[in-house]
């Protein structure tokens, strides 16, 4: 079963270059589709703050230029896309063979053995057409959320990342990702977690990532709050440090 990775990206450093060395070790057939640029805030992201049309300014554009000659890498670019749904669907309109589709955000990493296990699971269970996962969610370079089914790992809608795909299927939403034509016969969070399929999610691992989200998501004072969290005495309740978190999620040092 061929696997197609789809990543949408704007300023994806420093994590984006971690993907290709892993993909290059895979024994299965694969392609990596990378869509770069600003997404207009429409549909499921209309609550976010607008960004001026542009490509990346942190070295991502130069990195993509360096790898786009790779026979398995395909780069799609516009300074302004008509929303994130247009971005994730752009590669799907160019794929003409069925296979497995995986969404790969720039700040998420998987090991090669995990990816190959996902392929084997779908091959062994033709009745399943999607998979939901848990992640190790970073709120600092070495700080992760330790609670389950709270902020960072809500089981009711996070994290759908793999679909059995046929040409013509398109995403209907991006946050959370939903695939048109999917019957929702899924590998559950419990099944994938028990199989060791928990990915690393560096969502708030760097001050640059936090500063971007402070503007884009409208989290006033996020960088100052995050900086205070880095010096906390762990474990902690995140709502005591990060004002946009309202539930009972907890965090600790790795």
How many residues appear in the chain?
Answer: 254
Query: What is the sign, positive or negative, of the torsion defined by CA atoms of 212, 214, 218, 219?
Result: positive
Q: Which residue segment(s) compose the domain that 167 sits in?
A: 3-253
Could you tell me the pTM of the whole model?
A: 0.95
pLDDT digits (tens), the chain, 254 positions: 999 999 999 999 999 999 999 999 999 999 999 999 999 998 878 888 999 999 999 999 999 999 999 999 999 999 999 999 999 999 999 999 999 999 999 999 999 999 999 999 999 999 999 999 999 999 999 999 999 999 999 999 999 999 999 999 999 999 899 999 998 899 999 999 999 999 999 999 999 999 999 999 999 999 999 999 999 999 999 999 999 999 999 999 99
Q: How far is CA 34 from CA 37, 140, 203, 204, 212, in A?
A: 10, 26, 19, 22, 20
CATH number of the structural domain spanning residue 161: 3.90.550
Q: Residues 96, 101, 102, 104: what is their CA dihedral angle, to the nearest 10 degrees?
A: 20
If we measure between CA atoms, which residue out of 178, 183, 185, 181 comes closest to residue 168?
181
Residue with tokens 């197609």: 4
Side-chain-facing half-sphere of 207: CA atoms under 13 Å: 8
Tally of domains in the chain: 1
Residue burial 171-197, b: 16+ Cβ < 10 Å; e: rest? beebeebbbeebeeebbebebbeebeb
Report the SS3 class of residue 33: strand
Side-chain-facing half-sphere of 220: CA atoms under 13 Å: 0
Residues facing 186 on adjacent strands? 130
């Amino acid at each position: 079963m061929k696997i197609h990775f789809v990543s949408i990206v704007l300023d994806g450093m420093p994590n984006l270059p971690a993907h290709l060395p892993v993909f290059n070790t895979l024994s299965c057939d694969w392609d990596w589709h990378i869509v770069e640029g600003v997404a207009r805030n429409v549909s499921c992201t209309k609550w976010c703050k607008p960004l001026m049309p542009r490509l990346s300014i942190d070295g991502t554009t130069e990195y993509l230029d360096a790898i786009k000659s790779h026979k398995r890498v395909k780069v799609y670019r516009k300074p302004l896309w008509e929303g994130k749904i247009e971005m994730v669907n752009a590669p799907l309109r160019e794929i003409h063979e069925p296979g497995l589709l995986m969404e790969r955000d720039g700040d998420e990493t998987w090991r090669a053995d995990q990816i190959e296990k996902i392929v084997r699971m779908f091959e062994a269970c033709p009745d399943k057409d999607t998979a939901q996962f848990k992640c190790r969610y970073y709120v600092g370079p070495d700080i992760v959320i330790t609670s389950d089914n709270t902020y960072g790992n809500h089981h009711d809608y996070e994290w759908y990342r793999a679909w059995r795909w046929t040409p013509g299927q398109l995403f209907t939403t991006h946050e959370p990702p939903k695939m048109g034509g999917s019957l929702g016969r899924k590998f559950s969070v419990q099944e994938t977690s028990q199989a060791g399929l928990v990915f690393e999610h560096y969502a708030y691992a760097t001050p640059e990532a936090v500063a971007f989200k402070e503007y884009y998501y409208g989290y006033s004072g996020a960088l100052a709050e995050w900086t205070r969290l880095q010096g906390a005495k762990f474990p902690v309740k995140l709502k005591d440090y990060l004002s946009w978190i309202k539930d009972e999620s907890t965090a600790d040092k790795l």
